[in-house]
Structure 1
Amino acid sequence: MSIWGRARKPAPRGRAARHGRHGRQGRSPVVRPPLPPIDTRVERFDIAVGGAAEYLRAAWPELRHVSFEIGRLPRAADEDGIPRWTIDRDARRIVLYRVPIERLGRLHRADELHRRMMIEGEVFRAAAEYLDRDPWDLGPDRFRFL
C-alpha cells in the first residue's frame, strides 16, 4: 500500500524483445550474415586431387617430390582415346585433366561421395603408372571399409 491508502499499480511490463526503445519493431541488421563459401566443381576437384596426392606422398617416399598438377584438357587424343593424365618422369610431374576425368568417368550413383572416389581413383591410377605398380598396391587400407 502507498502512503495515501491506495493500492499501488503494478509495475509496467517490459516491452517485447522485438521492440526497440521507442516501441517500434527493431530494424534488420546493416550487415547480412556471411554467405556460404562458393563451392564449385573446380574447387571440389582440386580438393579431391589434393587430398589423394597428400595421402600418396605420405605413404610412398618415391612420390614426395612429385608435383600433382591439374590441367583442363589434354592437347590431343592418342590411340587409346582422350588421356585422363600425363606423366613426365624427368620433370617429376603428373598432370591430371579435369574435364576428361569428370565427363568421361562413369558413376553408378551421381552424388558427391562417388564423384570424389572416382577422382581419387584416377589420381591413384596416375600415381601407379608413375611408379609402375598396381593401383591397389598404393593404398589397400584406404578403401577397406567402403
Structure 2
Amino acid sequence: MAWRRTRTSERAAVRRPARHGRHGREGRSSVVRPPLPPLDTRVDRFDLSVGTAAEFLRSAWSELRDVRFEVADMPAATDDDGIPRWTVLRDERRIILYRLPIERLSHLHRDDELHHRMLVEGSVFRAAAEYLDRDPWDLGPERFRYF
C-alpha cells in the first residue's frame, strides 16, 4: 500500500495544467498578433521625398504653385541622351519624375537613407529648375546662401 500512495502522490505532482492543447502542450499564442508598424517601402520613401521637395519649391516659387509633380516608374522611351530621369511638360504644367532611373542609374558615394533622400530631392530641384529655365542653385531661398 505504501508503494501505491507514493505512486499516487507522484502523479499528483506531475499533473497537467488546467489549460492545455490537444497533445498536452501548454497554452497557445493568441490568433491575433499585436499591431505591426506600417510598411515602409522604397516606393513610399521616394514618393515622400518628392512630395516634401515639391511642397518646399511651391512655397518658395509662385510659378510652381499650379504645377503637378508626378512619379512614374519608367519613361515610355529613351532619348538621344539615354534614359531620362524626368520629363518637363510646360504646356500641361506637369513634371514627371521617373523613379527607377533616378534610384538605379545614379551612383551614391555613401549608400544610406540620407544620401538617397538627397539624390531624390536633387532630382526634383533640377527638374523644377528646367521647368523654370533657371539654375538649380537659384531655387533655394536666400536664407540658405551663407557660404
**Structure 1 residue 32: Cα displacement:** 2.6
- Relative to structure 1, is the Cα distance of residues 86 and 140 closer, same or farther in structure 2, using a 3 angstrom cutoff? same
- Relative to structure 1, is the Cα distance of residues 142 and 44 closer, same or farther in structure 2, using a 3 angstrom cutoff? farther
Partner of 1:61: 62
Partner of 1:76: 77
Q: How do 1:1-146 and structure 2 match up within 5 A?
A: 31-139=32-140
What CA distance in whole angstroms lies between the structure 2 residues aligned with 1:27 and 1:97?
48
What CA distance in whole angstroms lies between the structure 2 residues aligned with 1:49 and 1:75?
20
Runs of 4+ in 1 over 4 A off after TM superposition: 25-30, 140-145
What CA distance in whole angstroms lies between the structure 1 residues aligned with 2:71 and 2:142?
26
* Percentage of matched positions with identical amino acids: 72
Give per-residue Cα distances to partners, 1:43-96, cap 9 Å, x unaligned: 000000000000000000000000000011111111111100001101100000
Gaps of 5+ in 1: 1-21
Gaps of 5+ in 2: 1-17, 19-25
What CA distance in whole angstroms lies between the structure 1 residues aligned with 2:84 and 2:143?
25
What CA distance in whole angstroms lies between the structure 2 residues aligned with 1:121 and 1:113?
12
What CA distance in whole angstroms lies between the structure 2 residues aligned with 1:144 and 1:27?
62
What CA distance in whole angstroms lies between the structure 1 residues aligned with 2:115 and 2:38?
22
What CA distance in whole angstroms lies between the structure 1 residues aligned with 2:145 and 2:95?
26
Letter matched to residue 40 of structure 2: D
Identify, as 1 or 2, the structure richer in helix: 2
Aligned alpha-carbon RMSD (Å) = 2.4
Letter matched to residue 116 of structure 2: R
What TM-score comes out, normalization by structure 2 length? 0.75
**Structure 1 residue 31: Cα displacement:** 3.6
Partner of 1:10: none
Letter matched to residue 121 of structure 2: E
**Structure 1 residue 109: Cα displacement:** 0.4
What TM-score comes out, normalization by structure 1 length? 0.76
